[in-house]
Structure 1
Amino acid sequence: MRHTHPLPGDIGLTQISGITGRLIRFGQWINGDGFTDYEHAFLVLPDDQLLEAEPGGARIVPLDTYDGADVRYVCPERLTERQRAAICAAATRYTGVPYSFLDYLAIAAHRFRLPLPGLRRYVASTRHMICSQLVDQCHEDAGVHLFADGRWPGYVTPMALYNLLAD
C-alpha cells in the first residue's frame, strides 16, 4: 500500500551508495531476494521521525533525513491505527541496538542450509540487528507478523520486505 506522505508504522526502503550498498545488494541477491536497488530499510515514527539501524547503533532521526533520496514507502495491507501505534511504541525500545554485518552471512548460511549448529540461537542472542531485522522485529513486537513463510525471526533483508510489501 502506498501513501503520498508516509504514516507512522510504514517502512521506508532506499538505496545505499558506494561499496557498502553494492555489498548489501550482492548479499541480498545471494540470499535469493533479488537484485533491485533497495539496501536499507527504516521505520516511520510519529512527528516526522524514523528509526533506523546504523553501524553505530539504531537511532531516531528526522524523516527529512531522506529528502531527495529515492525512498519507497510500503506497509502491510489493512494496518490499523492501533497496530501502527503499537509498532511505533515497540520501536522506541530499540534505540542504540548494535548493527551487525555478520547477520547477512548468517542469513546466507541459513538460505544455503549450511550445517552450522546454533546459528539460529546465535542470531537471536546477539541483540545485533541489521535494518530490515529491526523493522521486522518492531512489527513482531506489536503482533503484526509480516512473513508467513516459516522463515526464522531475524532472517529478513530489505529486499525481502520489498518483495513482500511493494505493489
Structure 2
Amino acid sequence: MDYATNQPLGLETPKLWIIPARPLVCVLAFIGCARGIASIFFSGNWEERVTDMIFLFLNVLLLFGAARNNECALKWSQRVVFLAVVLAFIQFLIWPVVVASYTASGMADKNNTMADIEDKLYKTQDQKKKMFVRGLMSGFALEIGTAVLIGAEILKYVLVNRLWKYAKSTENIVVGGNQYIVP
C-alpha cells in the first residue's frame, strides 16, 4: 500500500458539495473573463466599459491565483475577490436606480429627436403610468442580475478561502515524509 500518494490525515481537498473547489474557481474566473470581454465589446459607452475592464482584470488575477494554487497566490486571490464583492455591491446600489430612471424618463428610446422629447413632456396619465411601470420592471430586472453577480462573487470568495486554508496547511508538509504528522 502506497501511503505517499494519499492526502494527509484529516485534510481533504476543498469541495463545494461534490465539485472540487479549484477547478470550479478556475471555471468561474474564466466565465467572468469571458463575460468581461463580451461586455467590453458590446457596451455602448466608456462608463460601462470601465467597470467591465475592472471586473475582467480582477477575474484574470483570480484565474492566475487559482492556477498557481499556492498559499501566497491564493491569499492575494482572496483579497481580489473581496474587492470584487465590494464593487459588485456598489454596482447593486447604483445601477438599478440609474437604469430605472433612464427607462422611466423615456431616455432609453434611441430614436428620440428634440421635437419628440418636447412632445413627450405633455404625456397623458396612462402614458406616464406605462413609463413608470417600464422603469420599475427594468430596475427590478437589473437588481436580480446584480444580486446574482454578488452571489457568484461571494461563492468565489468562499471557495478561494477554502483553497487558501488547504494550501496553507499542506504547503509545509514534506513530500515523502510521514503523512500523519501535520505541522
Normalising TM by the smaller chain, what interval? Answer: under 0.3
Structure number, greater radius of gyration: 2
TM-score, reference length from structure 2 = 0.22
Which has the larger share of strand? 1
Which has the larger share of helix? 2
